[in-house]
Structure 1
Amino acid sequence: MPNKLSTQNIHLREERSILVLLHGFAENSGIWNVQKEYLSEYFEVIALDLPGVGNNPLTTALTIDSMADNVYTSLQSAGIEKAVIIGHSMGGYVALAIAEKYPSILQGMGLFHSTALADTEEKKEARRKSIKLMEQYGSEAFIRQAFPNMFSPGFKAKHPESVEAYVNMGIACPLASMEAYYEAMITRPDRTAVLSSIQVPVLFVIGKDDTAVPLQSVLPQVSLPRTSSIYIFEETGHMGMWEVPTASNQLLHQFTLFCQDQKL
């Protein structure tokens, strides 16, 4: 089922680049609200709900590829032929699938605390255990345990209200969607070859304190694309858009302008 974007009246100005923002696991498009507010002055910014949350209900079996199909269909239905697509965490996996399946729509791509690697066997097993815990004790208990760890220790101590807001966002995600997301991530393929062949600029945003997508696992990937932009946030975990919003805004602004200026 296409995202509701396809049924909305979107007035696109031809001279402005289009920036599409994709959220991660158990999040929704609201994760990008601060970025959308700032960047909308310069670009057409579209923050999408992936299937399973918000305006995009879960109606079929889910894979990373099916989510990529959903995003692509939504953008095509809205008459969008080129866009810079940025994905946070799981949203980055979706962006990579779009790059593999529908490369012509990309003007640029960003992996915001994300990776092209497939899950390790240890990671797959951890996700399966998490699914069992959610089924046994409910998703809220799992979210309250896991989500605060997405932030750096310093930010978590100084901004408990932001951590609680993120936890509440996760609690709002249906259990069925969380389980489907984890299954989709478990079965996703390694897409480092996509980075090697991609023809548009790629942005890598890395948090030095990110335990979900560690710095050392991403660094070997940054040399694979023809054109890479790399930014490492100090004292930042998995949530750079919330932990360092001003820097994130400026980084996405600069990268989108760079993609806009490329003659590929």
Structure 2
Amino acid sequence: MEKVLCEGTTICYAEQGKGEPIILLHGFCGSSSYWDEVVPLLSQSYRCIVPDLRGHGRSDAPLGAYTIDQMADDVLKLQEQLDIPQAAWFGHSLGGYLALSAVQRHAERLTAFGLIHSTAYADTDEGKEKRNKAVSTIQTEGITTFVDGLVPGLFAPDHVESMSSQLLKVKEIGYKTPPQGAVGASLAMRERTDRRDVLSASALPALLVAGEQDQAVPPARTFTTDRAGVTQVTLPEAGHMSLFEAPELLANAILTFLEQNLKK
């Protein structure tokens, strides 16, 4: 992987393909490896930049709480250092929160964006309590125990056994998350703001992708606007992890969206 220094924090990233740039952002306790099955399909037509977010993968994991804006700024700094004036951002789950932050504060740096199994809602009180429990579990029982409890619920119920090898890969990626990084990102998600107004008011083309069987972010929490320029896609039988459960369908949704919305 390549790496850049973003305000004192090293951010590692992979790059593949040529053409219009797209930035692919992974979810919580993930890494750039989340996109391994999708990038080969996208990079035939686009330049794919796939970072490990702050606190994840091979990127630095500073101690303390992070913020969504701070994590988004890392990606903006990466984009700047790669001399890319504008790019399309696609964020899976946590990555979608970063995309919305960038849209709100630096829309001129984006050509389009996508929320993949993500939402513009803030955490509910119940959701915030789950973040607190996650932090407690990570600190007292370790990242392995936390990931073992997290990952099965990210897949559609029917896929937990039928896609055991994919589930194991997600776990193995999660085990490599530095504990302080998982804690910092949990606190960032807990404190994030509601950005439904950002999503509905933006003039940028937006792709909203939901899994029919997503138990973490149900489709209703993804499809919060049908404004002009928004494309809504539901992936049948997929849970929260279409990157592993249905990578071809996800790639096709992204490619179709880009073809319809980006000038070549």
Q: Same fold (TM over 0.5)?
A: yes
Cα deviation, 1:129-182, whole Å, max 9, x if unaligned, reads: 121122221121111111111001122221111111111111110110111111
In structure 1, runs of 5+ residues without a counterpart are none
CA gap 1:186/1:199 in 2 versus in 1, 3 angstroms: same
Aligned residue for 2:118?
114
Q: Alpha-carbon deviation of 1:216? A: 2.3
Give aligned-pair identity as a percent: 30
Determine whether 1:49 maps to 2:52.
yes
- Conserved 8 A contact 1:17-1:256: no
In structure 2, runs of 5+ residues without a counterpart are none
Q: Alpha-carbon deviation of 1:11? A: 9.8
Aligned residue for 1:87?
91
Aligned residue for 2:228?
226
Q: Which amino acid aligns with 1:230?
A: Q
Choose the corresponding residue for 2:82, options 51, 58, 78: 78
| Cα distance in structure 1, aligned partners of 2:33 and 2:196 | 29
Cα deviation, 1:29-72, whole Å, max 9, x if unaligned, reads: 11001111111110101111111123420236511000111100
Choose the corresponding residue for 1:18, options 1, 17, 21: 21
DSSP-derived class of the 1:108 partner: strand
Cα deviation, 1:96-123, whole Å, max 9, x if unaligned, reads: 0010111001111000000000000111
Aligned residue for 1:261?
263
Aligned residue for 2:41?
38
Q: RMSD of aligned C-alpha atoms?
A: 1.9
Determine whether 1:123 maps to 2:138.
no
Aligned residue for 1:64?
68
DSSP-derived class of the 1:129 partner: helix
| Cα distance in structure 2, aligned partners of 1:11 and 1:179 | 30
Aligned residue for 1:247?
249
| Cα distance in structure 1, aligned partners of 2:157 and 2:216 | 14
- Conserved 8 A contact 1:198-1:226: no
- Conserved 8 A contact 1:204-1:222: no
With normalisation by structure 2, the TM-score equals 0.91
Aligned residue for 1:139?
143
| Cα distance in structure 1, aligned partners of 2:44 and 2:69 | 32
Aligned residues: 256
Q: Which amino acid aligns with 2:162?
A: K
Q: Which has the higher helix share?
A: 1
| Cα distance in structure 1, aligned partners of 2:61 and 2:251 | 30
Q: Alpha-carbon deviation of 1:127? A: 1.2
Q: Alpha-carbon deviation of 1:237? A: 0.5
- Conserved 8 A contact 1:19-1:46: yes
DSSP-derived class of the 1:237 partner: coil
Q: Alpha-carbon deviation of 1:215? A: 1.7
| Cα distance in structure 1, aligned partners of 2:142 and 2:72 | 28
Determine whether 1:102 maps to 2:97.
no
Moved over 3 A (4+): 3-6, 10-13
| Cα distance in structure 2, aligned partners of 1:94 and 1:57 | 17
Q: Alpha-carbon deviation of 1:5? A: 6.1
With normalisation by structure 1, the TM-score equals 0.91
Determine whether 1:235 maps to 2:234.
no
